[in-house]
Amino acid sequence: MTPSGTTSTTAAEPTNRTSGAQPAWEVLLPAAAAPARRRGRALQEALREAVRAGRLASGTRLPSSRALAQDLGVSRGLVTEAYEQLVAEGYLRSDRGSGTWVGGAVRTGRAATPSVPHAPSAPGSGTVADFRPGTPDLSLFPRAAWAAAQRTVLAELPHSALGYPDPRGLPALRSALAAMLSRRRGVVADPDRLVVCSGVAQAATLLGSVLRARGHRDVGVEDPGSPEHGRLFAATGLDTLWLPLDDEGLRPEPLTRSGTRAVVVTPSHQFPSGIAWSAERRGMLLEWARSVDGYVCEDDYDGDFRYDRAPVGALQGLDPERVVYTGSVSKSLAPGLRLGWMVVPESLVEEVVERKRTMDLGHPALDQAALAHLVTSGGYDRQLRRCQRAYRERRDALLAALDEHFPGTTVTGIAAGLHVIACLPARYGPTRRFLGAAASVGVALRALEEYGTARPTDGAVRLVVGYAHLTPTTIAAGMRHVAEALAGR
């Protein structure tokens, strides 16, 4: 659920912040948790990177060394040394009697979205458990079935299929995907309007490029939501507008006031809150799109993973001329395959296909043929069932571990997807203390507030906890280690 209330400000928080930026102590928390012998260097590196990336914008007033040291739980000397070093390098400036500020010498990127990766990076050697969401269990990839599909298509594929491909994708794959999406997700999928692409990432950049050429200047994204959406559309020249959610979906009034004519949403299982949009809000969004002659980009990022309820059909089925439907095999097979799709309204097909042609001349034919064979032979459905069984077991292990080690925790978003929202009582907080304790024992976690602009005011610790890539044993051990570390503080 979206954190309630307004953003709180403490004495240690920078007085000037760019939209979507994090307070200084949140940016620096990982550095504060580094081993003592390299904590000072890590703090300097983190400050440097925060300035370079624009998370600490030019003109931002930093907390005093005493206040920041207290918030991070480090010595004041470490903070003072870091400030002095970065002043000497030109990243910061210090005015006698008025504090320390971010200097103007560095040319930074615009920090339009929270600096949180959509998927976790590879864990370090000291990591006990990485609960950051976004990655499936890659050991479940069906190597034997994929190898068999490759052998089959190599033997059967005509020579002509190895020439420059149709930019939309291999006809056999488009037909297989159209039938599957219609059957499993209720998508109105004409193979001629389906474009095979390198995952949802390329689908978003293709759509963004077309909208930009049509005169669009911005795109709305869910708040909280995936930071990656804003980054992808920003790469095409579109500004990002954060649009707040409630328990039913996107709130109508801010959407109407925004003036945008394009939004990207996750209505079937909202990321990260886990809610399924209400029927009323789904209808509202489509009415809005028609009224402004706009488009909705639906990211159905985990539409096949449902555990305790019937699947919620894709929004696209309600209005195929206003919704661009996107999906991929990143969660069901592996993100490294870079195989995805978009089902495009008739009014956009020609422009999207031309952009795809000029971008990369089409997707590799052999990979497409192998996926087509896997889908039509029933192998893909078997893979989905296998993953669902494994992920349900891991979800249940996570719920049991949270109940055992953090009594009073409420969990939402459990009926679908590969992550949950865990809301821990205020006695386990504040959030930065909880994350610091976890990091000290090699457990990686993400706070819900890192995925949007709102900040909680009730003291509760809200986490976005991924579980699909972890074994039940690792899940239990990770939560136990965090509880022990917290008890020792």
Confidence label for 136 from pLDDT (cuts 50, 70 and 90): very high
Residue at 18 is within a domain: no
Residue at 280 is within a domain: yes
Residue at 274 is within a domain: yes
Domain count, the chain: 3
User: Model confidence over 151-191: pLDDT tens digits?
Assistant: 999 999 999 989 998 999 999 999 999 999 999 999 999 99
Task: Residue 209: give its domain's CATH number.
Answer: 3.40.640.10
User: Model confidence over 400-454: pLDDT tens digits?
Assistant: 999 999 999 999 988 888 999 999 999 998 998 999 999 999 999 999 998 988 7
Task: Residue 454: give its domain's CATH number.
Answer: 3.90.1150.10
User: Model confidence over 460-477: pLDDT tens digits?
Assistant: 999 999 999 999 999 999
Residue with the bigger pLDDT between 305 and 353: it is: 353
Residue at 406 is within a domain: yes
479 and 374 share one domain: no
Task: Residue 31: give its domain's CATH number.
Answer: 1.10.10.10
74 and 184 share one domain: no
Residue with the bigger pLDDT between 313 and 477: it is: 477
147 and 166 share one domain: yes
151 and 287 share one domain: yes
Residue 278, Cβ neighbours under 10 Å: how many?
14
Expressed as residue numbers, the domain containing 136 is 129-140+386-487
pTM of structure: 0.75
365 and 393 share one domain: no
User: Model confidence over 187-225: pLDDT tens digits?
Assistant: 999 999 999 999 999 999 999 999 999 999 999 999 999
248 and 268 share one domain: yes
58 and 134 share one domain: no
| 486 touches 470 (CB < 8 A) | no
347 and 240 share one domain: yes
164 and 307 share one domain: yes
246-274 mean pLDDT: 94
Token pair for 250: 């996107």
Q: Is the pLDDT of residue 9 over 50?
A: no
Q: Tell me which of 362, 381, 400 is where a domain ends.
A: 381
Q: What is the pLDDT of residue 150?
A: 96
What single string gives the DSSP state of each residue in 93-150? EEETTTEEEE-S-S------S-S--SSPPPP-TT-SEE--SS---GGGS-HHHHHHHH
Residue at 11 is within a domain: no
Q: Tell me which of 335, 362, 381 is where a domain ends.
A: 381
Number of DSSP helices (H) and strands (E) in the chain, helices first: 15, 16
Residue at 38 is within a domain: yes
Reference 413, options 467, 357, 483, 360; nearest CA is 467
Residue at 135 is within a domain: yes
Q: Rounded to whole angstroms, what are the CA distances from 270 to 74, 298, 328, 367, 461? A: 37, 11, 16, 30, 20
Confidence label for 488 from pLDDT (cuts 50, 70 and 90): confident
311 and 416 share one domain: no
263-267 mean pLDDT: 96
